[in-house]
Amino acid sequence: MPEFTALTPDALLELIADRAGALRGHAVVAVDGADAAGPLTVARGVADLLRTRGRAAEVVSLHDFVRPASVRLEYDRDSEFTYRTGWFDYPAVTREVLKPLRDGGRFLPALWNEQTDRSARARIRTAAPDMVLFLAGPMLLGRGLDFDLTVALRMSEGALRRRTDPAQGFTVDGLLEFERDRTESADILVAWDHPDRPAVQGR
* pLDDT tens profile 166-195: 989 989 999 999 988 887 899 999 999 999
* pLDDT tens profile 3-29: 899 999 999 999 999 999 999 999 999
* Model confidence band, residue 2 (pLDDT cutoffs 50, 70, 90): low
Total domains in the fold of the chain: 1
Handedness of CA 51, 23, 193, 180 (dihedral sign): positive
Question: Would you state the pLDDT for residue 81?
Answer: 85
Domain that holds residue 171: 5-202
CATH number at residue 109: 3.40.50.300
